[in-house]
A and B are shown apart, each in its own frame.
Chain A
Amino acid sequence: MTDMILSLVLFTPLVGAVLALAMAGDLAKYARYVALAFTALPLAVTLYLVTAFDASSGYQFVDQYAWIETSFLSIQYIVGLDGLSLIMVLLTNVLMFLVVLFSWEEKERPNFFFALLLGMQVGLLGVFMAMDYFLFFIFWEVALVPMYFLINIWGGPKRHYAAIKFFIYTHVSSLVMMIGIFALVIESAAVAGTGQLSFAFADVSAAAALFTQGFQVLVFGMLFFGFAVKMPIVPFHTWLPDAHVEAPTAGSVLLAGVMLKMGTYGIIRICLEVLPEGAVAWQVPMIVIALVAIVYGALACIAQRDLKKLVAFSSISHMGMVLLGIATLSDIGIAAGAFQMFAHGLITAVLFMVCGIAGHNVGTRQIPLLGGLAEKMPNYAAFMMIGFMASLGLPSLVGFVAEFNILVAFYNWGLSEGVVWTIIIALASLLLTAGYYLWAMQRSIFGPLTDKIDTSKVHDVSVYEGVSLAALCGLIALFGIFPALAWDFIFPYASDLAAVLEVFL
């Protein structure tokens, strides 16, 4: 039974999705209770797993079955958690639960809506738990399909375009990643001297030491492309603002909060772990890509008039931070990158919820039309302030810990490579970030109440929205003040990984 606990977490939402989907007609309005129950259970079990987890050892709670065993192929159903996947699973389950709560008053086809959320949860959890490439890839793709429907049915005016663009961009990138996986698996079977392709992480990693450097560099490129489009990196980022602007709030929260992290998770889990020589060869390109994303995202933010588009571009910038941390290939850098994934997940959820509320409680997200909202919506203004402050890296909130450590790692890298001036680029972006957030806040919630729109019907956050926002803000503060709660799971993993990478640096 203890072995199956992880599969329980993974498949509970699937059962919930099927149940919710079945609740057609008059029952549809009760689908939200099913969704809440079937997201609460995985969250509760995850919290138990966090307490039972032993940070000093590798994969735990492993559940394993042979799945496809033929003379050419060996594919297993195998799931497990290590420090990195644990915090991502925690993040996914926390956000999922709160998103269901936030969307409590969804009126349009609620059974289908909640079924899609739960279906997406299965995909996201699977990606972070899988220990087999085939399984990993299946969950990776499974997560896309519900998002396509979420945008397409519940989205804004240009939703059809945004949905298909999102679907095709991410699908192309995952197929390129798939070719990379083929190469990994075929090469590892060959160097291990078997004629059976094993897709298990462990078998590929065991053979990885014998990969030639040329092979590593090439395959790293393919896999990195697959993951990086998801992150996303400039210039493959254009799907992201479109998808976010059109997506319903729940979709945006999960897209930015968890789905983008699949990309950086893949880079750490597969690119860095399996192809260390490739990682070293790609280090400088990765750093350049990260800096471009950071600066470009921040600059684009300044120009945005739509609050949601601003947050979307800020995601590009912050995900660039994650990559910057990872690309230093040092223990602090990788740990801080992973911590930033966690932190950004919490913060961006607040930001997108705030944008969503602006959209339906105020009626517009256009910053120039807003103004003085604090007067009418004091709670809303408070949540927005906490979210923005956390995102710009205010000390004692979770974003600061992540970004500070990333910058430390990057500074160390700059010192050792003799290019310490590059830190200025990263620091300048922090300034930009503070600038665009404060400016946006000034224009939307402070000052005199706007007269450009009819504010008579504007009302503050609802109970459900308030509870989920408050919970998130609480977590942002909690992990900001006690970062060790998450850091202690990640750092042992990161230092093991960095020790392997150091050999090739």
Chain B
Amino acid sequence: MTMPDFTLIAPQLIVLAAALLVPGLYFLTRNDKLVGMFSIVSVLAAGLYLGWMMMEGVTGSFLDVYAVDEFSLLLTGMFLMVALLVLLASLKSVERDRHHGEYYALLLAATAGMMFVACAEDLIGIFVGVELTSISSYALVAFRKNDPRAAEAAVKYLVIGGLSTALTLYGFSLLYGVTQTTNLEAIALAIGAAPTGGLLISVAMIIAGLGFKITTVPFHMWAPDVYEGATAPVTTFLAVGSKKMGFVAFFKIFLVGFIAAQATLVSDVQYAFAVLAAITMTVGNVVALSQTNMKRLLAYSSIAQGGYLMMVLAIMTPYALTGGLFHMITHVFMKGGAFIIVAALCYLSMGEKLSDYKGLAKRAPVLAFAMLIFLFALAGVPPLAGFVSKFVLFSSAVGFPGELVETQWIWLVFVAVINSAISLYYYARVVKFMYVDEGESIEPIKVPMPFMAAILICLVAVIAIGVFPEPVITLCENAATALMG
């Protein structure tokens, strides 16, 4: 037996090793800045190594559990970017708290879990990664254990997370039962002959179980409460990180394994996803209209964005997956940036109500401008990143390049488009508060450096990807073709 090639999962191992070292380092130094910086450096190191792997075009398989290809590399990179943004936002946000060692360790462990899911090619690999992230996030949400809101959010998250885990695991075991394997490629080969009944129950369990992670309606109830209760950087992590992990798991299971099942069954599941997508985006957007708390508003907007991404699972073409991956990446910067601004304002004790944002443009012009860009990008206003990614994603519902217009999903894209217009209302409302209304105070706000760095990264990315999307679209296309063949 030869040694497996550990260099293939080196980025994951770097982050995991850092997660293990951080508590020790904190115990020895008691310096929160140092552990924070150490975590950032480790994420950057993993990112550098990953960048090298992408340049070299490394591919391979680690023990048939973790595959390295364009898809996994791109998404690993995306999760590292999420970790970097969240760490930058955390430096200041948690400085007045205790237990910094644990905080950064949990954050890094959760990141490692997402990175493992990105390259998993086996149900067990997916499950282990999802659980690593989930269990770390339960603790992260409860980080401020003396804050009743945080404690309530954590309990809610834990109970619902436990249920979701149980459902997922049951679904996985049934899938193993009907296909006799846990490897996704092997499942694709065996699934055509699998008994339909067992398969259907398994699929339903997986959709419900992982559906909690991606906040599909009706499994979304926990999200606004948890997002509101958690500290803002953790909320950022949940909304733009762990949710994406759920999507990656979905893409792997359904676009690699399940897609080879009997055509009628696949088509039924496609319709199920289409209906769920339509309901999810509509509920998310409509409920967001009446929110008065910024975190909750962004939480519902996240639910809606999840609905758009679910269109990929209904359409099931490489072009749709391209659009989906692209939208996931732009969403990291748009929603990440917006949540980090919320985090910065929470840190500055500005409050998180919509009315607290009145007159922000006069008090913090850069911050308000960044928020304006993020919100308009989320609404899909050109020439920003969110517009281009929605453009690609929505167009994939009309047809696949090279084939005639397919009318099957036109209704879905109409629903998506109307939702997009609804969302404009609540995003524009925030913009109105910031730019049109006068605030009670006109005292300028000084935003600490680490927040500013994270916000500027997002701002530059949102504008640059919007104006020059070609490199990112190419990466997404390659990733989509690598996954779906």
Contact = CB atoms under 8 A, between A and B. Distances in A.
A403 interface: no
Nearest to B429: A164
A250 B154 CA distance: 53
Contacts of B410: 179
B432 to A, nearest CB: 6
Contacts of B413: 179, 182
Given A176-B417, A197-B395, A167 B473 contact: no
A163 B421 CA distance: 14
Interface in A163-189: 163-164, 167-168, 171-172, 175-176, 178-179, 182-183, 185-187, 189
A72 B319 contact: yes
B394 A182 contact: yes
B474 A164 contact: no
Given A145-B376, A176-B417, A179-B398, A186 B405 contact: yes
B424 A167 contact: yes
Contacts of A138: 382-383, 387
A148 B432 CA distance: 10
B428 A178 contact: no
A195 B428 CA distance: 37
A192 B421 CA distance: 33
* Main SS class of interface, A: helix
Interface stretch (A62-70, A237-245, A408-416): A62-70
A194 interface: yes
Interface in A146-176: 148-149, 152-153, 160, 163-164, 167-168, 171-172, 175-176
A178 B391 contact: yes
A71 B398 CA distance: 18
A73 B421 contact: no
* Main SS class of interface, B: helix
B474 A190 contact: no
A7 interface: no
Interface in A126-153: 134, 137-138, 141-142, 144-145, 148-149, 152-153
Interface string B437-475: 000000000000000000000000000000001100110
Given A142-B382, A145-B381, A67 B470 contact: yes
A183 B405 contact: yes
B401 to A, nearest CB: 5
A182 B418 contact: no
Contacts of B403: 186, 190
A160 B432 contact: yes
Contacts of A205: none
A189 B406 CA distance: 13
A215 interface: yes
B473 A70 contact: yes
A148 B428 CA distance: 9
A187 B470 CA distance: 22
Contact of A152 (B319, B381, B420, B432): B432
A196 interface: yes
16 contacts: A68-B470, A72-B473, A134-B391, A145-B381, A160-B432, A160-B436, A164-B428, A178-B391, A179-B413, A182-B399, A186-B398, A186-B404, A186-B405, A189-B402, A190-B399, A197-B401
Interface of B: 319, 322, 365, 376, 381-383, 387, 391-392, 394-395, 398-405, 410, 413-414, 417-418, 420-421, 424-425, 428-429, 432, 435-436, 469-470, 473-474, 477
Interface of A: 24, 67-73, 134, 137-138, 141-142, 144-145, 148-149, 152-153, 160, 163-164, 167-168, 171-172, 175-176, 178-179, 182-183, 185-187, 189-191, 193-197, 215
The 7 closest A-B pairs by CB, nearest first: A195-B402, A186-B399, A175-B417, A182-B398, A138-B382, A182-B395, A172-B421
Given A152-B432, A152-B436, 16 more contacts: A71-B474, A72-B319, A72-B322, A72-B477, A138-B382, A141-B382, A149-B435, A164-B425, A168-B424, A172-B418, A175-B417, A182-B395, A182-B398, A187-B405, A190-B405, A196-B401
